[in-house]
Structure 1
Amino acid sequence: MSVVGGRVWVYERCSENWKGILLDRDGDEPAIRRRRCSSRNPSIIPGEIKPINCLIHYALLEILLATNFSAMAGKEYVKEIERARRDLRALISSKNCAPIMLRLAWHDAGTYDAKTKTGGPNGSIRNEAEYKHPANNGLKIAIDLCEEVKAKHQKITYADLYQLAGVVAVEVTGGPTIDFIPGRKDSMISPEEGRLPDANKGASHLRNVFNRMGLSDQDIVALSGGHTLGRAHRERSGFEGPWTRDPLKFDNSYFVELLKGDSGGLLKLPTDKALVEDPEFRKYVNLYAKDEEAFFKDYAASHKRLSELGFSPLSSLASGLKKTLTAVAVAATLVVLSYIYEVNRRESE
């Protein structure tokens, strides 16, 4: 390995006559040039060129190069995400479809099971078998809308696209900015039906569903505040009507209306009423009704947790690096064995 003119040169392999094949990794494509190795080890065969030190240098540098290339690929993906974000913002604003986009993101993520590590935000809701679950009635509309963006940004996974759509839906309607980290993988495996909340049930059911995902009481109440957007449709859920006076504005009015009790024309599901009836839930309802800033802060954190269930950017990076290290180790072992064989062969001549 050497540095010439600010460029890193590494010995890719040594040929039979011990000439190194050098790769210029400064450009987009490796520039292959043959040069004689600079590494010698006279203790084995005096005067001969030995590739073993080159190999060690190569293995170490290859790890750094692979990590750097992964980072470069990651940067390009992030740029594509930002372009998709702009297109989603325009689409959601023009179609007034923020509520159903948010619902799509939730329902793709809300199937996660922390014990079995199945379900979660993996794009599986696009499978016909899953979007036809009764709990997902109407979401084919959002899936088709997302296809318009996917067609322009094909490198993006469906898993990232659906969660990004949920983030943008909140932001364009006046809600908090939600930290979004890409890198989710797509899956074609749909979880069994029945993992999503049932609107007809109460507090214990909510806890069972959200605790299964690894979420807390605070997450339950904060995420329920997302009902500030949209309305229920009888043909989809059996319920009808909006939760707030302005179903296209993300604010804390959902909690304000909850504390008012029954209000003419506004919907309150059994699961909504449970938030007021349960003392642990109610303390968060009271807080969010009087302090929108606190609601926005907690909602952004809970939404991020929901959108990353079963997904860890650090574990994803570690997995990729582990594969790189394994590949380099295997390659290094093979070359070392070849080198030992060659040395033994020459000594026996």
Structure 2
Amino acid sequence: MSTLPLFSKIISRRSLYLFSAATLAGAATVAATAATVDNRKQYNYGNRNQNNNNKSGWSLFGASSVAAAAPIVHIAALNKDRKIDDYQRIYNKIAEKIREEDEYDGYIGYGPILVRLGWHSSGTYDKTNNSGGSYGGTYRFKLESSDPSNNGLQNAAKFLDPIYKEFNWISHGDLYTLGAVCAVQEAQGPKIPWRPGRVDLPETETPANGRLPDANNGADYVRNFYARLRMNDREAVALTGAHCLGRTHYKNSGFDGPWGAASNSFTNEFFVNLLNEQWKLEKNKSGNYQYDSPKGYMMLKTDYALIQDPSYLKIVKEFANDEASFFKEFASSFQKLLENGIDYPKGAPQYIFKTLDEQDI
């Protein structure tokens, strides 16, 4: 049994919703309500943000067409009982399961889809009101998991289910993001600093569908989409480089094919192929347009846009010629994506995990 004071126990399992003084000016009171969700207490200070933007409320480039509410503040809830060794054990369980179940998706394995789950659960973030993102672990609810852009990710969630049952003290947001970090590193990718503190929020805090990227667009869309995630051009190109992993499937996305030959290894191949393959825009059997190469590789229109835009093209060339540069930028950008919208207290621990291979040495 924990020896932490009662107040510390509550803090470690709570979410704070703090609205700006400007919005609350003239209000007689600030309501404080407590609700128990998934056996974790959630404390809501002030009225819950009602600006749940869906696709009809967004422009083509993801900018809100309605007035944004005051920003929500999501405070990282740190469990002082847990240290890096506790999270390393979870990392190891995920990594071992990736190795053991390597036949998934034609022996590509679960690594790529775990990266996608962490990416997509974070990619709902909106800087205009600090909503969405990885903090609340809301992918576990049907509203988010049924977003068409998340087709296929249920397999990643099912993969993590037994991990959660064994370590049910971890929040879903922490588990989804830790799984993504593990998958990148075990695929020989860069080390990604990771911090815990996400809190399981109730279903009412699930962002509406329509916040994830639409592949049928060009460079302007890409730039504006990533701007909503607080990402600049370098960060946008680096994060798109995660397409070095995995492949597309008609049944999930309406596209088909791998981005390269090494679908379960984290490399700069995506950028090399983008520059060097003979791409042809073709209409696939699902009625969507994708770029295909004679080698059987594919690129989405949002991928190909990176060599159509002068600013993006310069960065693509850099990453194609210098894998270390790509790794460095991806590590910092991916950490930023996973942490968007979370307010970490000063001195909050940051962990860098050892891979299974490193632990075997």
Give the structure 1 partner of residue 126 of structure 2: 113
Q: Is the 8 A contact 1:243 1:267 kept in 2?
A: yes
| Corresponding residue to 1:231 among 247, 252, 261 | 247
1:242 aligns with 2:248: no
For residues 255 and 241 of structure 2, the distance between their equivalents in structure 1, rounded to whole angstroms, comes to: 18
Residue 298 of structure 2 aligns to a residue whose secondary structure is: coil
For residues 155 and 170 of structure 1, the distance between their equivalents in structure 2, rounded to whole angstroms, comes to: 24
Consecutive unaligned residues in structure 1, runs of 5 or more: 1-26, 31-70, 318-349
Residue 82 of structure 2 aligns to a residue whose secondary structure is: helix
For residues 221 and 4 of structure 2, the distance between their equivalents in structure 1, rounded to whole angstroms, comes to: 57
1:297 aligns with 2:328: yes
What TM-score do you get using the length of structure 1 for normalisation?
0.69
1:84 aligns with 2:90: yes
- Count of matched residue positions in the alignment of Structure 1 and Structure 2: 252
What TM-score do you get using the length of structure 2 for normalisation?
0.67
AA aligned to 1:308 is E
Residue 117 of structure 1 aligns to a residue whose secondary structure is: coil
Q: How large is the RMSD of aligned CA atoms in angstroms?
A: 2.2
Percentage identity across paired residues of the two chains: 39
Higher relative contact order (CA 8 A, sep 6+): 2
| Corresponding residue to 1:193 among 170, 190, 209 | 209
Instruction: Provide runs of 4+ in structure 1 moved above 3 Å.
Output: 27-30
Q: Is the 8 A contact 2:260 2:269 kept in 1?
A: yes
For residues 4 and 123 of structure 2, the distance between their equivalents in structure 1, rounded to whole angstroms, comes to: 43
1:217 aligns with 2:248: no
Q: Is the 8 A contact 2:233 2:312 kept in 1?
A: yes
The Cα shift of 1:304 comes to 0.4
Q: For each residue in 1:120-175, what CA deviation from the matched residue of structure 2 results, as whole angstroms up to 9, or x when unmatched? A: 00311111121111100011111111111001100000000000000011001110
For residues 180 and 78 of structure 2, the distance between their equivalents in structure 1, rounded to whole angstroms, comes to: 27
| Corresponding residue to 2:151 among 114, 132, 137 | 137
Give the structure 2 partner of residue 94 of structure 1: 100
Consecutive unaligned residues in structure 2, runs of 5 or more: 6-76, 102-108, 280-292, 349-361
The Cα shift of 1:184 comes to 1.2
Give the structure 2 partner of residue 287 of structure 1: 318
1:158 aligns with 2:158: no
Residue 74 of structure 1 aligns to a residue whose secondary structure is: coil
Q: For each residue in 1:56-88, what CA deviation from the matched residue of structure 2 results, as whole angstroms up to 9, or x when unmatched? A: xxxxxxxxxxxxxxx994252543322111101
Structure 1 residues 201, 146: CA separation in 2 closer, same or farther (over 3 Å shift)?
same
In the TM superposition, what are the counterparts of 1:328-343 in structure 2 within 5 Å? none
Structure 1 residues 270, 28: CA separation in 2 closer, same or farther (over 3 Å shift)?
closer
The Cα shift of 1:28 comes to 5.2
AA aligned to 1:119 is G
For residues 72 and 312 of structure 1, the distance between their equivalents in structure 2, rounded to whole angstroms, comes to: 11
Q: For each residue in 1:181-239, what CA deviation from the matched residue of structure 2 results, as whole angstroms up to 9, or x when unmatched? A: 11112223211111111011111111221111211111110011100000000111110
- Per residue, is there more helix in 1 or in 2? 1
The Cα shift of 1:308 comes to 0.3
Structure 1 residues 246, 172: CA separation in 2 closer, same or farther (over 3 Å shift)?
same
Residue 215 of structure 2 aligns to a residue whose secondary structure is: coil
The Cα shift of 1:312 comes to 2.8
Give the structure 1 partner of residue 351 of structure 2: none
For residues 218 and 162 of structure 2, the distance between their equivalents in structure 1, rounded to whole angstroms, comes to: 38
Q: For each residue in 1:98-133, what CA deviation from the matched residue of structure 2 results, as whole angstroms up to 9, or x when unmatched? A: 010000000000000111111000311111121111
| Corresponding residue to 1:74 among 71, 80, 95 | 80
Give the structure 2 partner of residue 8 of structure 1: none
For residues 4 and 222 of structure 2, the distance between their equivalents in structure 1, rounded to whole angstroms, comes to: 54
Give the structure 2 partner of residue 273 of structure 1: 304
Give the structure 2 partner of residue 7 of structure 1: none
AA aligned to 2:121 is D
For residues 168 and 254 of structure 2, the distance between their equivalents in structure 1, rounded to whole angstroms, comes to: 36
Give the structure 1 partner of residue 56 of structure 2: none
Q: Is the 8 A contact 1:77 1:155 kept in 2?
A: no
1:182 aligns with 2:196: yes
Give the structure 1 partner of residue 22 of structure 2: none
1:148 aligns with 2:154: no
| Greater gyration radius | 1
Q: Is the 8 A contact 1:85 1:164 kept in 2?
A: yes
